[in-house]
Structure 1
Amino acid sequence: MIQNEYVENISASLVREYLSRKGLKSTLQAMDSELPRNDYSINNRAQLAKEIHISNLMKRNKEQDEPLRSMVEIMTKFFLEKHNKNNSSVPMNSSSTASLPASNGGAGKTSALYDHSEFAFSGLPPEDVSGKKAAKATVIHMPAQRPSSRFDDENEDDTRPGQSDLHSNSKKEVSSQKISRPSNSRRRGMSGPITSNLDDKSRKNKKKPSANLSGNSSLTFENDITSEYSNHIIDDYTDTKTHKTETKHSTTDSFQDLLHAANIRSSKLKEKKRNEKDTKSKEENQEIRRSRDLDERTSQERPQSQSGRRRKSSTKQALEKSTTLGDVEFGDVDDVDDGIKDHTGSKTVPYGLQTKVNFNSKPITLKQAMEIKNLIFGTSQSAFNDEWRAQGFGFSNTSHLEYGIVQHKGGPCGVLASVQACMIRQLLFGEGKLASPASLQPLTSERSHCLAGGLADIFWRAGSRKSATVCLSSGRPVFTAGARYKSDNLTETLNLNSFSSYEDLYNFLKANIGAFEGQNSPGVILSLYSVIFSRTVDKIIVDMDEPTNKLMGAHGYCTQEMVNLYLAGEAVSNVFNDIMELDSGGSEKMLLKGLSGRSDVGLLSLFEHYKSCEVGRYYKTPKYPIWVVCSESHFSVLFCIKKELVSDWRVERRFDLYYYDGLARQDEEIRLTIDTTQVNPTLPSEDDLVPPLELCIRTKWPDAVVSWNGSEPIL
């Protein structure tokens, strides 16, 4: 038997889908506030349609001249059309094997049934062709796919028959069939058509005349009420042939009397449940108001809680659990699209029912917001500019550049290039990957997963590979701003989701990647907040040479500390190895901090060519042949698909490097061939225009000859 919690989650998902398709964003946010989503919420239209078996209805709706937008409307139209057809006889087109009578009692007045087992509820005619009344049986065709095991009856001690057997049985045409019910069918969950338990008493000592099932009856709400006292069977007949069945039933009690008794009993039960729910709701609403008043007075952090637990009541969860799955909602997507959209229009991977993620979530406090803004800007009165606020990790649609993240305007290039480099590491050298030129043409889902993996690496590395924090917007302020803090409609809406497991971190990011991936979403800002909270503000201040340094440079540019935080997990101020002592002649020596170990992704700088800095081996020879290139205050990416380049000197004789710049609006793949074998090559003089990229490459491979292979050199 399907549990109420599963039904409640499906219903809530249908309502959310309706609100999203209708553009009722405020109402949807209010619903998410009062009825938070949980691990079992379905945020994918195709999955939701499959769960309630209306995929064919959705496809038929798309074929209409004026298709409806929401699932609720499509189902409502189906029921209304079915009700309007009650006055006309239509041949049965269902695979059902037992029927209920029409509620209006009209003999011979039937309605068409939808095929493909979608809403395939069938009924017995009120009277057979011979005029004899028969007791009626009820069959409700439920989806073949059972709910997740977390919704199963824990006391059920047997399994249902194989689905293949059910399908094979449904395709056999029979002229008559005895409908019987074994005594233990309720306990064992047996399949096949069974009669209503309302008929059990009258069948024991009565004769069982056959009833002609060749007719049809209408679908009414009385059928649903009666079905509450029937033994439901999960079935999935997809055969569209007409089945004619003869069934023996008792005629002692009239069906209308039984139906009337069922209606009375159901009404009393529903009224009792409604009264209990109203009483409980009033108590919970009072508790919510008391909790909100307390939060406003104290501005304290809400208690932490583990996610993944099943919700006992929506209101109680809103008080006791601040766990969030990100700001995701249904968007205007195709009916068979596997992705969903959030309110920013970004695609996101659906969060599956089977995925369980353990993490703690709490809202950001005013103190934390002020500290992080002071760290980034030097003052809590500043905010991100428009270039940062509208920059997400959206990908290119250009052929052979599908892996590339597109940058709209200048400013956050340091963050974008760093994330791009880590994403490429996942794409080429991730677990089970075999790098090749074909790897640079990923599918949409693959590059989204690689982006999630790249961000997970960055956050986990910043948390010393022990913990990480992911910041997502809740859509509404969680604290009241003071006079010393400037609101930006993002920082004050953050939820801080903390993880102690890399696997949980990756699954969470994969499920909520839409919050980062949107073309105009604040994905870059969310990633910066996440990497800062993963490292913690106090540790970042210690990392830097001067505690008064800030992460944001002039004109919204990224500082070296910010780039190092992404690439090395430490916000050190330099790019050389380890720590350098600077003797200023006094008693105290100044410590200049560099990288503490070999980085996964490297860095090359044009400033080293001009002798302004020194890039250490930790960056020049990273674990993977991927480098972020700093050239004239702009960051881009250079990489090789041969991992041996950083471990085997023989590979360095002649090799190819791929170059990508998200701001350059590349329209073709740029592949450079590097040759280090030529003796005394003719190098350009200082008067020649040499592409800065070549100068950066020669800081790693001196005197190398660089061939652009037909591409226009970038000057």
Structure 2
Amino acid sequence: MADQEEEDLRMALRMSMQHKPPEPKRSKPRENAGPAGLPEESPELKNLKLQRELMAAAAEKRMMAAKNTAAAAAVGSASKVEKSVVGAKQEKSGGAGAGGHKCVDECKGKNVKSGKELSLAEANQLFLMVFGGEVTKDILAQWSNQGIRFSPDPETSMGLVQHEGGPCGVLATIQAFVLKYLLFVPEEFGKVEPNMPHNLGSSRFSKSECVASDNFASFTEERKSRALVRSMCEILFLCGSNKRAVIATLSILDSDIEGSEDCLKDDIIAKALEGLSIESCSALQKVLRINTYSSQAIAFQRLKVMISVFQSRMGAMLFLI
């Protein structure tokens, strides 16, 4: 019995040594778990972070677009500046090829020669505005026999001559501007042709720059003629708010004086005006032609070509119109 109990005890001991205890239960691993020891983020915090990331991406995209736009604008601005510099150089040097004679060509173009013909209604309105409804033949004769000419007397050589009453207002205005260019504008500035938008007529000069002279006979005919043309150009643009000038001429004159020498123009114009009498709006409408200019340089060239017309007996009337 004792041996049997001892054997049973040994077997129980062996069985106890071979038995494996059950494994302890473990929780399932959490997905997207953060670092150990940190609490899980709330959904609100996650949404806030997502919104911030989206806003940062959008801001970066806008910054890149702004940089590209600024670069394109800089390239365009540089191109414009380069074109302006090239254009200024061409203008200063007189232009290249046909462009250098643009002003002269436009002044001598066919459309400029013919000019615009007024309608009968426009001519009637213009005639009434200038002369009124009850104008006499004597008044019309005064206006039809007054040119814009300098005095041949050496003591008054820079003054304009008025033969009869009537056109005194026109002559006095031109005379004031002529004196400005002869006495108060340095000669080197007077030789520069006007160019839009700058107008030398509106410039201011100090007393040291003024070129006043007591010897009126010292002014050459060329300088007086240039001062007259500049004065007429400035006055006409002032009438058009410095935006345009309307130059009037006669259809019977343009084709005859273009290309003629200065010494022959007076005779050609005098012959063309023989028998011409403007006593009604219909007579004015038949011969009057007008051209509108927005460039002071081109208008200056046109007036320079037409100066003999304004010196003729119809000059004061044409300038007033």
For Structure 1 versus Structure 2, the TM-score category normalised by the shorter chain is 0.3 to 0.5
Q: Answer with 1 or 2: which has the greater Rg.
A: 2
User: Higher strand fraction: Structure 1 or Structure 2?
Assistant: 1
TM-score, normalization: structure 1? 0.23
User: RCO higher in 1 or 2 (8 Å CA, sep ≥ 6)?
Assistant: 2
Alignment TM-score, normalising by the size of structure 2: 0.48
